[in-house]
């Protein structure tokens, strides 16, 4: 019975720890930022390529 109580207290202490929650929140924020940057670069890649081609044309 003591071991069951120790296990229960261990999991209860994990639930009350904020360190893991903060790490998970940072992970979610990082994932959202990564998706947003990837989407923006995908949408703008044609425009960026055209602009660089025009600049190269002006230089040569």
Domain ranges of the chain: 19-60
Gap between the Cα atoms of 20 and 23, Å rounded: 5
Q: Is residue 31 scored above 90 in pLDDT?
A: yes
pLDDT band at 15 (very low <50, low <70, confident <90, very high): low
| Per-residue confidence (pLDDT) for residue 53, from 0 to 100 | 93
Q: Which of 17-21, 32-36, 44-48 has the lowest mean pLDDT?
A: 17-21
| Per-residue confidence (pLDDT) for residue 24, from 0 to 100 | 81
| Per-residue confidence (pLDDT) for residue 18, from 0 to 100 | 63
Give the chain's length.
60
Gap between the Cα atoms of 12 and 30, Å rounded: 28
48: its two tokens: 């960026």
Gap between the Cα atoms of 51 and 39, Å rounded: 19
| Per-residue confidence (pLDDT) for residue 10, from 0 to 100 | 76
Q: Is residue 14 scored above 80 in pLDDT?
A: no
CA 28, chain centre distance (Å): 5
Gap between the Cα atoms of 36 and 39, Å rounded: 5
């Amino acid at each position: 019975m003591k071991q069951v109580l120790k296990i229960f207290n261990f999991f209860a202490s994990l639930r009350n720890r904020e360190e893991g929650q903060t790490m998970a929140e940072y992970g979610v924020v990082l994932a959202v930022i990564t998706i947003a940057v990837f989407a923006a670069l995908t949408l703008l890649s044609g425009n960026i390529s055209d602009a660089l081609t025009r600049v190269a044309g002006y230089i040569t």
